[in-house]
């Protein structure tokens, strides 16, 4: 299969690398300033792979075909769009104009952007995915990534049906070790992940690091209360965001949810989530702000979530330096 990955961040590069390793013809669209460097030196990948029984540390140089612009004459079978949420509005007209007849997978965090995508592309051309099994950060010459065996690449069609093209994509990702899981209703899952990241941001900044956050039961409980507020507000606004990992914890007493969450954040996961903050702080902060705005529109103050707004400047100093 001829695949283009639009976006050379952690997610895009990792998926391009794994599909290339599986034998597909993969191109990576990068910014012009990176084109020469990646074309000449390749992309250095340092990977902590926790998909098997034993943790593996890998280091390699990935040398995909790199381009800095789309051309419909290239006739890609699949374009994977793996860019930050706030970049999508500018990228969509360009993708719609120059993507040819390729199927397009939007792989990342979305909230209200589902309708925006539909305005630019006809149904039958695109589907959605959540790269929940991959975390990491960018380095000067490449990426540092984590691959988790107990998490998945969630995939779904806009109409919730399991189409042949979705099954074909799942098969490709399965062969590449990307652990696909087809969802009949993928949009609420993506919104839920969007909200869960945003609810964790403030407590982690206040704690000082993800490791210190995990040691603080009170802050974990406050993050759970924050996500409960987001679920309530999303329902008021008609946006379903119930399929949240670990969404079933929201129905438990807080002290039980706290202990279950602490167990899910092992040392490798803590390091991966800290790396995600360093790489994705700007995106997660904008997700946080989007949810605060949603609360104002619905007349819900979201006191737990909003109480952490004052820590955002501190987060900027720590993660945007």
Both tokens of residue 221? 């409980």
Long-range pairs, 164-168, Cβ under 8 A, ≥24: 165/103, 165/127, 166/127
Q: Write the pLDDT tens digit of every residue in 57-96.
A: 999 999 999 999 999 999 999 999 999 999 999 999 999 9
The percentage of residues in the chain with a pLDDT greater than 90, rounded to a whole number, is 68
Q: What are phi and psi of 240, to 5 degrees?
A: -75, 130
Q: By mean pLDDT, which of 114-123, 138-147, 196-205, 224-233 is the weakest?
A: 224-233
pLDDT, average across residues 285-290: 93
Q: What is the pLDDT of residue 100?
A: 92
Question: In the predicted model, what is the mean pLDDT of the chain?
Answer: 91
- C-beta of residue 115 within 8 angstroms of C-beta of residue 38: no
The count of other CB atoms within 10 Å of the CB of residue 39 is 15
Express each pLDDT in 221-270 by its tens digit: 999 888 888 888 888 888 888 665 556 777 788 788 888 888 889 999 99
Task: Provide the whole-model pTM.
Answer: 0.94
* Strand pairing report for 103-107 and 56-62: unpaired
Calculate mean pLDDT across residues 23-44: 88
CATH topology of domain 2-184: Rossmann fold (3.40.50)
The answer to whether 178 and 133 are in contact (CB under 8 A) is: yes
Cα angle 321, 131, 229; round to 5? 75
Neighbour tally for 120: CB within 10 Å? 17
Is beta strand 126-131 parallel, antiparallel or unpaired with respect to 153-156?
A: antiparallel
Domain extent listing, the chain: 2-184, 188-319
């Amino acid at each position: 299969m001829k695949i283009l990955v639009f976006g050379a961040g952690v997610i895009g590069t990792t998926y391009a690398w794994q599909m290339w390793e599986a034998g597909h013809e993969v191109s990576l669209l990068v910014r012009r300033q990176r084109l020469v460097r990646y074309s000449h030196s390749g992309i250095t990948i340092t990977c902590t792979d926790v998909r098997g029984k034993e943790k593996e540390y890998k280091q390699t140089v990935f040398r995909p075909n790199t381009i800095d612009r789309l051309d419909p004459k290239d006739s890609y079978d699949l374009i994977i769009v793996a860019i930050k949420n706030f970049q999508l509005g500018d990228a969509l007209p360009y993708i719609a104009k120059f993507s040819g007849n390729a199927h397009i997978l939007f792989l990342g965090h979305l909230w209200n952007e589902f309708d925006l995508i539909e305005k630019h592309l006809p149904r039958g051309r695109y589907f959605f995915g959540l790269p929940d099994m991959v975390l990491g950060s960018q380095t000067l010459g490449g990426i540092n990534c984590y691959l988790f065996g107990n998490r998945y690449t969630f995939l779904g069609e806009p109409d919730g049906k399991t189409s042949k093209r979705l099954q074909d994509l799942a098969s490709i990702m399965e062969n590449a070790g990307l652990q696909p899981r087809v969802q009949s209703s993928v949009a609420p899952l993506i919104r839920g992940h969007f909200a869960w990241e945003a609810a964790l941001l403030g407590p982690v900044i206040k704690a000082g690091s993800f490791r210190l956050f995990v040691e603080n039961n009170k802050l974990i409980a406050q993050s759970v209360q924050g996500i409960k507020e987001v679920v309530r507000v999303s329902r008021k606004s008609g946006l379903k965001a119930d399929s949240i990992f670990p969404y079933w914890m929201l129905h438990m007493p807080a002290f039980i949810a706290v202990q279950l969450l602490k167990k899910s954040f092992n040392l490798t996961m803590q390091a991966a989530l800290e790396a995600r903050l360093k790489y994705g702080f700007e995106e997660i902060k904008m997700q946080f702000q989007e949810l605060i705005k949603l609360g104002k529109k619905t007349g819900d103050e979201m006191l737990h979530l909003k109480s952490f707004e004052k820590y955002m400047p501190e987060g900027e100093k720590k993660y945007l330096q």
